[in-house]
Amino acid sequence: MRAHGHSDAQRRREGQQALYVYGFTRAGGMERFSVPGVSGAADVRTLKLGDLAAIYSPLSMEEFLGPEGADPTQDLEWVAPRAVRHERVLEEAMQSSPVLPVSFGAIFSSPRALSGAVDAHRREISRFLDDIADKEEWAVKVYANPQHLRAHLEQAPEFLQRLQRLPETPGARYFHEKKLRRELDERSRDEGRSLAAHIREALVPDAISVKSLRLAERGLSGRQDDMVLNSAFLVRSGQVRRFTERVQRLAARYQPRGLTVEATGPWPPYSFCPSLEERP
């Protein structure tokens, strides 16, 4: 769903009030929020739109556009705390009713603009809220430690035998050792991806749907190990315990081979939302 008002706001932003939208739920659901809104104020509200309701905060256009029409959403230090508050609003809403989350930064210029956008997608929103009512999104990430994977491969009979058969002459021995180290590095990367695929397949029977997400680089993940799996699983609420217990068993099984398996949730179900983009 596209936010309305950015182009107009650059012409009329000074003093203009807008609606920052977090997501949608059923009318009559949660109306009082204990967590602050995206700007840090205690201003999270709901706007009834027929049988649906938008979760929103009032804000000035200048809050997101800046006094000179700059785009502060490109500044990670500015975005990070606001994105966290955005998520916390959704997580609190999820405790009492199904939620269709909206990505960070959706701003509508007026209640009328928001109502029009909802009317254009009312059927998809209602269908999703009905469908997600008894389900939860869980994230499963797998990290591979290259050194541990390599050490495990080095103990395989194949490599032990090859090490014992290295040439005795220094030059030839150096060449073969270098080739073997390079092969071990490649095999350890392949092994990490292969084991991650096995873990994913082992969890599929406990899920209704699975979405593969982008793998984060080490610098972005904050981990020293390589992320080899990042998937979202849609799980029935009654099966969550079984799902997380299976994750724990897989984590214990693969930990000696250099893998860390983690499940977190429930999260706002972004990965399984319908597209609410405007149609041409």
- Backbone phi, psi, residue 37, to 5°: -80, -175
Whether 122 and 156 share a structural domain:
no
Residue 174: CATH number of its domain: 3.30.70
Cβ contacts of 19 within 8 Å, gap of 6 or more: 47, 54, 56, 57, 58, 59, 107, 108, 109, 110, 111, 114
What's the number of domains the chain is made of? 2
| Domain membership of residue 42 as a residue range | 6-133
pLDDT value at residue 238: 94
Q: Up-side HSE of residue 199: CA atoms within 13 Å toward CB?
A: 34
Structural domain ending residue among the three candidates 133, 168, 185: 133
pLDDT (0 to 100) of residue 81: 93
Q: Do 105 and 32 fall into the same domain?
A: yes
Q: Which of 260, 250, 253, 257 is nearest to 156 (CA)?
A: 257
Rounded Cα gap, residues 104 and 145, in angstroms: 33
pLDDT at 13: 47
Q: Is position 151 within any domain?
A: yes
pLDDT at position 5: 43
Residue 43 domain-assigned (yes or no): yes
Joined together, the tokens standing for residue 246 give 């299976």
Q: What is the pLDDT of residue 9?
A: 40
Task: Let me know if residue 69 belongs to a domain.
Answer: yes
254 and 140 in a common domain? yes
Same domain membership, residue 152 and residue 127: no
Given 76, 108, 133, the domain boundary residue is 133
* 251 and 183 both lie in a single domain: yes
The pLDDT of residue 148: 78
d(CA 248, CA 233): 15
Residue 279 lies in a domain: no
Decide if 213 is inside a domain. yes
**Do 180 and 230 belong together in one domain?**
yes
* Among candidate residues 91, 117, 133, the one where a domain is terminated: 133
pLDDT of 147: 80
Q: Give pTM, 2 decimals.
A: 0.79
Q: Are 30 and 47 contained in the same domain? A: yes
Amino acid 196: pLDDT: 93
Same domain, 120 and 150: no
Contacts of residue 248, defined as CB under 8 A and 6 or more positions apart, other chains included, come to none
Q: Is residue 200 part of a domain?
A: yes
Reading the chain (280 residues) residue by residue, the pLDDT tens digits are 645 444 344 444 445 689 999 999 999 877 789 999 999 999 999 999 999 999 999 988 776 765 555 566 677 788 899 999 999 999 999 998 999 999 998 999 899 999 999 999 999 999 999 999 999 999 999 999 888 777 766 666 666 566 656 656 766 655 566 666 676 666 777 788 889 999 999 999 999 999 999 998 876 666 788 899 999 999 999 999 999 999 999 999 999 888 999 999 999 999 999 887 754 3
Same domain, 176 and 84: no
**Do 177 and 78 share a domain, yes or no?**
no
In a shared domain, residues 143 and 104: no
Q: Tokens in use for 277? A: 């983009």
Report whether 27 contacts 91 (CB < 8 A): no
Q: What is the pLDDT of residue 65?
A: 65
CB 230 within 8 Å of CB 216:
yes
Q: Can you give the pLDDT at residue 158?
A: 65
Q: Is the dihedral of CA 277, 113, 121, 97 positive or negative?
A: positive
Q: Are 116 and 188 members of one domain?
A: no
Predicted local confidence at residue 29, as pLDDT: 78
